[in-house]
Amino acid sequence: MSAEEKASVAQDSVAAPVVVRVRRPALAESRWVRRLLIAAALVFLALFLLLPLVAVFVQAFQKGFAAYWEALVEPDAVAAIRLTLLVAAIAVPLNLVFGVAASWCIAKFDFRGKHLLTTLIDLPFSVSPVISGLVFVLLFGLHGVLGPFLKSQGIQIVFALPGLVLATVFVTFPFVARELIPLMHEQGCDEEEAALVLGASGWQTFWHVTLPNIKWGLLYGVLLSNARAMGEFGAVSVVSGHIRGETNTMPLHVEILYNEYNFVAAFAVASLLALLALVTLAAKTALEWRFGAELAALKRH
Amino acid sequence: MTGAVGWQIRRPSVLPGFGLTLGITLTWLSLIVLVPLAALAVKATGLGWSGFWSVASDARVLAAFRVSFGLSLAAAAVNAVFGLLVAWVLVRYRFPAKRLVDALIDLPFALPTAVAGIALTALYAPNGWVGQPLLDWLGVRVAFSPIGIAVALIFVGLPFVVRTVEPVLQEMPPEEEEAAACLGASRFQTIRYVVLPSIFPALMTGFALAFARGVGEYGSVIFIAGNMPGLTEIVPLLIVIKLEQYDYAGAAAVGTLMLLASFVLLLILNLLQSWMRARHVR
In three-state form (DSSP H/G/I as H, E/B as E, the rest C), the secondary structure along chain A is CCHHHHHHHHHHHHHHHHCCCCCCHHHCCCHHHHHHHHHHHHHHHHHHHHHHHHHHHHHHCCCHHHHHHHHHHCHHHHHHHHHHHHHHHHHHHHHHHHHHHHHHHHHHCCECCHHHHHHHHHHHHHCCHHHHHHHHHHHHCCCCCCHHHHHHHCCCCCCCHHHHHHHHHHHCCCHHHHHHHHHHHHHCCHHHHHHHHCCCCHHHHHHHHHHHHHHHHHHHHHHHHHHHHHHCCHHHHHHHCCCCCCCCCHHHHHHHHHHCCCHHHHHHHHHHHHHHHHHHHHHHHHHHHHCHHHHHHHHCC
Domain assignment present for residue B200? The answer is yes
B211 to chain A nearest CA, in Å? 11
Write the CB contacts of A215 (distance below 8 Å, at least 6 apart in sequence).
none
Q: Name the more confident of B70 and B265.
A: B70
Domain assignment present for residue B154? The answer is yes
**Residue A22: what pLDDT?**
52
**Residue B12: what pLDDT?**
79
The answer on pLDDT for A5 being more than 60 is no
Residues B131-155 have a mean pLDDT of 91
* B95 touches A: beta carbon within 8 Å: yes
Same-domain status, B242 and B126:
yes
**Residue B171: what pLDDT?**
87
**Residue B46: what pLDDT?**
81
| CB atoms B104 and A166 under 8 Å | no
Give the number of domains in chain B: 2
Same-domain status, B18 and B57:
no
Residues B7-17 have a mean pLDDT of 78
> What length does chain A have?
301
The answer on pLDDT for A261 being more than 90 is yes
> What length does chain B have?
282
| CB atoms B40 and A135 under 8 Å | yes
| CB atoms B155 and A48 under 8 Å | yes
Write the CB contacts of A142 (distance below 8 Å, at least 6 apart in sequence).
A151, A158
Q: What percent of chain A has pLDDT over 70?
A: 88
Same-domain status, B140 and B200:
yes
**Residue B201: what pLDDT?**
85
Angle between helices B59-92 and B235-244 (to 10 degrees): 140
Q: Which backbone phi and psi does A111 adopt, to 5 degrees?
A: -150, 165
Same-domain status, B18 and B144:
no
Same-domain status, B106 and B237:
yes
**Residue A30: what pLDDT?**
82
Q: Which backbone phi and psi does A229 adopt, to 5 degrees?
A: -60, -45
Domain assignment present for residue B126? The answer is yes
Spell out which residues of chain B touch residue A267, defining contact as CB-CB under 8 Å. Answer: 118, 122
Residue B136: exposure state from Cβ atoms within 10 A (0-12, 13-18, ≥19): exposed
* A184 touches B: beta carbon within 8 Å: no
Domain assignment present for residue B166? The answer is yes
Residues B170-193 have a mean pLDDT of 86
| CB atoms A112 and B40 under 8 Å | no
- Pick from A16, A41, A128: CB nearest B258: A128
Same-domain status, B25 and B52:
no
| pLDDT tier, A243 (very low <50, low <70, confident <90, very high otherwise) | confident
Spell out which residues of chain B touch residue A189, defining contact as CB-CB under 8 Å. Answer: 13, 15
Residues B173-190 have a mean pLDDT of 86
Interface of B with A in 110-139 (CB under 8 A): 110-116, 118-120, 122-123, 128-130
Cβ(B145)–Cβ(A264) under 8 Å?
no
Q: What percent of chain B has pLDDT over 90?
A: 49
DSSP one-letter code for B245: T
Residues B218-225 have a mean pLDDT of 93
Spell out which residues of chain B touch residue A23, defining contact as CB-CB under 8 Å. Answer: 174
| CB atoms A202 and B17 under 8 Å | yes
**Residue A26: what pLDDT?**
61
User: How far, in Å, CA of A224 to CA of A217, rounded?
Assistant: 11
Same-domain status, B164 and B186:
yes
pLDDT in tens, A100-146: 999 999 999 988 888 889 888 988 888 899 999 999 999 988 877 88
Domain assignment present for residue B248? The answer is yes
Residues A10-33 have a mean pLDDT of 59
Write the CB contacts of B35 (distance below 8 Å, at least 6 apart in sequence).
A139
Domain assignment present for residue B72? The answer is yes
Kindly report the number of other CB atoms within 10 A of residue A115's CB atom: 9
| pLDDT tier, A4 (very low <50, low <70, confident <90, very high otherwise) | very low
Q: Which backbone phi and psi does A198 adopt, to 5 degrees?
A: -80, 5
Whether the complex's predicted ipTM is more than 0.85 is answered with yes
| CB atoms B114 and A254 under 8 Å | yes
Cβ(B89)–Cβ(A38) under 8 Å?
yes
Same-domain status, B144 and B176:
yes
Nearest to A238 by CA among A137, A94, A122: A137
- Pick from B39, B89, B255: CB nearest A145: B39
pLDDT in tens, B32-51: 999 999 888 888 888 888 88
* A26 touches B: beta carbon within 8 Å: yes
**Residue B70: what pLDDT?**
95
User: How far, in Å, CA of A154 to CA of A92, rounded?
Assistant: 27
Full residue range of the structural domain in which residue B88 is found: 48-279
| CB atoms A41 and B216 under 8 Å | no
Q: B165 by DSSP, 3-state: which?
A: helix
A123, amino acid identity: L
**Residue B189: what pLDDT?**
87
Same-domain status, B83 and B37:
no
**Residue A235: what pLDDT?**
94
Prediction pTM value: 0.87
**Residue A12: what pLDDT?**
46
Domains of chain A: 24-60 (no CATH), 64-299 (1.10.3720.10)
- Output helix, strand, coil percentages for chain B, rounded to the nearest 5: 80, 0, 20
The answer on pLDDT for A6 being more than 60 is no
Q: Give chain A's mean pLDDT.
A: 86
The answer on pLDDT for B114 being more than 80 is yes
Nearest to A294 by CA among A153, A175, A183, A169: A183
Domain assignment present for residue B206? The answer is yes
pLDDT in tens, A154-167: 888 888 999 999 99
The answer on pLDDT for A293 being more than 80 is no
**Residue A142: what pLDDT?**
80
Q: B10 by DSSP, 3-state: which?
A: strand
CATH number (domain holding residue B224): 1.10.3720.10
Residues B53-63 have a mean pLDDT of 90
Same-domain status, B140 and B215:
yes
Same-domain status, B104 and B36:
no
Same-domain status, B143 and B100:
yes
Q: Give chain B's mean pLDDT.
A: 88
Domain assignment present for residue B4? The answer is no
Q: Name the more confident of A89 and A148.
A: A89
- Pick from A47, A49, A111: CB nearest B10: A111
A292, amino acid identity: G
Residues B138-142 have a mean pLDDT of 88
**Residue A297: what pLDDT?**
52
Spell out which residues of chain A touch residue B36, defining contact as CB-CB under 8 Å. Answer: 135-136, 138-139, 170
Spell out which residues of chain A touch residue B195, defining contact as CB-CB under 8 Å. Answer: none
